[in-house]
Amino acid sequence: MDKIWTEMYKAAKSVQNGRKISDYIEAGGVAAAILSKSGKIYTGVCVDTCSTLGICAERNAIFNMITNGEQEISKVLAIMPDGKTGAPCGACRELMVQLMPETYKSVEIMLDYEREKITTLVELTPEWWI
């Protein structure tokens, strides 16, 4: 496994801080790290609300990347509340496809850090509507 995955795991873990923000919002249960094509790591945490205003950690990290002037993703890693890694949800996958419609198929996703199981976005979403 490339050492960049370890760097991404550490970056995501460093921002993961599950906490209650208010009676209506919790944050940091899930943390994500996105590796851009330029090689920079961007992080984000989930923000869960009592309505549909929340955001996943992966999308938060992607928006952080976009805010900083980049738009191409190379790798994605998300740490769940139990410390294990997992796949992005459908909304996060949708955003990645729309962001990179010509090149999304090559985006690598860490499914299981402990077992070093990596897949691609196209393997998770083989029949995309775009």
Q: What is the DSSP string of 15-49?
A: H---EE-SSSEEEEEEEEEEEETTS-EEEEEEEEE
What is the pLDDT, as a whole number, of residue 38?
A: 98
Give me the mean pLDDT over the 72-87 stretch: 97
Question: Which amino acid is located at 66 in the chain?
Answer: I
User: What is the chain's length?
Assistant: 130
Task: Give the model's confidence band at 127: pLDDT under 50 very low, under 70 low, under 90 confident, else very high.
Answer: confident
Cα–Cα distance, 48 to 12 (Å, whole number): 17
pLDDT at 100 over 90: yes
Q: Which domains does the chain have, with CATH numbers?
A: 3-124 (3.40.140.10)
